[in-house]
Amino acid sequence: MTVRAVIQGCGHYLPKRVVDNSEFERTLDTSDDWISSRSGIKRRHFSNEDETTSVMATLAAKEALADANLQADDIDAIILATSTSDLTFPSAATMVQANLGIVKGFAYDVQAVCAGFVFALANANALIISGQAKKILVIGSETFSKLMDWEDRSTCVLFGDGAGAVILSAENGKGDKYDRGILASDLNSDGRLKDILYVDGGVSTQSTGYLRMHGKEVYRHAIEKLATTAQNSMKSAGISVEEIDWIVPHQANIRIIHGTAKKMGITSDRVLTTVQDHGNTSAASIPLALSVSKINGHIKKNDLIVTEAIGGGLAWGCLLYTSDAADE
């Protein structure tokens, strides 16, 4: 008997304010066509002062709990992937814990930028298969609009805010590739590449800072690293490309998304994209895409999914898993 971590429910929250590409034409030398042709993005959501990372995470978590038909007290742990926690400390995860009225277990943040949700899921999977928790709330929530330099058209048009959440539950399996739940994971980082995607502020500078990115360098590394980590996960689980139902990638850039799928030998009709409506929401992008795709009826029960992401660090990774047990 093998313990597997199975996705039991999902939910999301998007800020009320929707910003179309045309809004940037008023202040920047840019256009809807320039933005959409290079990134695939048509619009994004920006948070207001009350829609903090922990608040959005809480609202997404409540949706996931309802979707799984669970109560907050059923949760043993909360892992929140974010680079934009409300405060330097305590963790936003503990704020979510308090907001949900949970007074047991533990909560902590994971910071791997755009790869954060993949790292958080891998953390949760390890906790479940080691017996330290049975039900874990895994959230990605970001307010990247707070990190934007509004005069830098190469970055400020790409990012958005939002939150997504899933619940992982322990379930017994046979230990083969036909089990439900997370079948394999692959995590990587290379700190030598930190200067191609970073924020130029933090505790050492006593300022929040702005996001800085060398887009061409990120693109150059992204497709190769994403395809390789996905192939590593599939090899580990004994899964072939033909068996994959969907890729649910980090929603950063449509060219990276389609370029990675092509390198993996997967056609674009098996790739789920929400980047056009959300922009790059960093660690929130994958759970947002999962939740929206479930609501839209794309993802069905027991679909086999590859999820991969790359972010600042550089950090990148992949998980291979079957879809939400609650999907019908």
**Residues designated as active site:** 114, 250, 280
DSSP string, 57-84: HHHHHHHHHHHHT--GGG--EEEEE-S-
Asked if 292 and 275 count as a contact pair (C-beta separation under 8 A), the reply is no
Cα dist. 106→93, 253, 288 in Å?
9, 34, 24
What CA–CA distance (Å, rounded) separates 119 from 125? Answer: 10
| Cβ-Cβ contacts under 8 Å for 208 (sequence gap 6 or more) | 146, 147, 199, 201, 202
| Cβ-Cβ contacts under 8 Å for 56 (sequence gap 6 or more) | 13, 15, 47, 141, 143, 161, 162, 163
Asked if 149 and 156 count as a contact pair (C-beta separation under 8 A), the reply is yes
- 164 phi/psi in degrees, rounded to 5: -140, 155
For 300, which DSSP code?
-
Q: How far is CA 239 from the centre of its chain?
A: 23
Asked if 316 and 226 count as a contact pair (C-beta separation under 8 A), the reply is yes
Q: Determine how many CB atoms are found less than 10 A away from the CB of residue 202.
A: 12
Q: CB burial class (10 A; 0-12, 13-18, 19+) of residue 88? A: exposed
